[in-house]
Every structure is written in C-alpha cells, then in structure tokens.
C-alpha cells in the first residue's frame, strides 16, 4: 500500500438498526475511488457482515460502541477496520470456519467466510473480554483497468 489519500471514522452504538447506516456511509466514502457497482456492493456486504458480527457476537445482549475507520490509499486500496470492545473471540481459527457460530440457530455462521470472499485480505485480531478488530482490505480497480 502507498500513501493514505483520505480517511474517515465513525462510532456507532451496537444496535442492529445502525448496520445499514454503517454500510451506506462506508460505501459513500469509498465511492470517491470510482468503484464498479459490484465493488460497491462488495464493500456494503463486508461492512454489513463485520458490523453484524460485532452486534450479535461481540456485544451479545448488551450495548457497546462499534468503531469504524476507513483509509483510502493512492493505489486504490480501501482499508476498513471494524472494532468492538465486546467479549472477544476465544478461537479465531474456529470462528473463521464456515458454519461455525456462537449465535442462535438463526445465524448461518458464514460471516467471516463471506467477508473473506469479498475482500483481498481479511485480518482478525481479538482478545477475550477486550474485543475484536476486523481489518478488511479491498483493491478497487481503477478506471484504466476497467476499460
């Protein structure tokens, strides 16, 4: 990655109704890189999954704060970090396995799998009783690459 060209951050309460706001806000910010509709939808999906994980798994049945930071780089890379101060993940490798969930039977257990499939790089850092940070890296193809 090269030089940061722009950055933003937002803090939200861990309410499921805020997931849509987070998704739209990050997508609007990343739009300055002139992404395709598919790339914009990928951004919305990964943000949605990361925020939903923080709400459902990180904070479970209590409110907390979700911090989202986005940095844009001159080589058209978007770095999105979604951080909570929730319960943390006991076993990250197990949590990243498809179909694994700590939620109820309505949860698919596919959050990390979906995030990984729509990003170029996914990094998960977590400490029990301290919280989790998910870093999502997405290369946005430049106008020249699309032609």
Tell me the catalytic residues: 49, 53, 107
- CA torsion angle 35 42 140 6 (round to 10): 80
Number of other residues whose CB lies within 10 A of the CB of residue 35: 21
The set of residues, in sequence order, having a beta carbon less than 8 Å from that of 63 and lying 6+ positions away, is 13, 14, 15
Q: Which helix (H) or strand (E) holds 83?
A: strand 77-84
Q: Which helix (H) or strand (E) holds 12?
A: strand 4-13
Contact 65, 71 (CB under 8 A): no
Contact 53, 122 (CB under 8 A): no
């Amino acid at each position: 990655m090269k030089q940061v060209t722009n950055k933003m951050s937002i803090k939200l309460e861990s309410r499921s109704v805020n997931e849509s706001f987070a998704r739209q806000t990050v997508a609007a910010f990343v739009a300055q890189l002139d992404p395709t509709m598919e790339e914009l939808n990928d951004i919305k999906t990964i943000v949605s999954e990361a925020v939903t994980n923080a709400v459902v798994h990180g904070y479970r049945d209590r409110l907390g704060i979700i911090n989202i930071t986005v940095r844009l780089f001159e080589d058209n890379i978007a770095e999105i970090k979604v951080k909570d101060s929730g319960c943390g993940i006991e076993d990250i490798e197990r949590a990243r396995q498809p179909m694994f969930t700590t939620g109820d039977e309505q949860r698919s257990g596919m959050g990390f799998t979906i995030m990984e499939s729509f990003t170029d790089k996914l990094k998960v850092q977590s400490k029990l009783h301290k919280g989790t940070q998910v870093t999502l890296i997405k290369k946005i193809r430049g106008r020249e690459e699309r032609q």
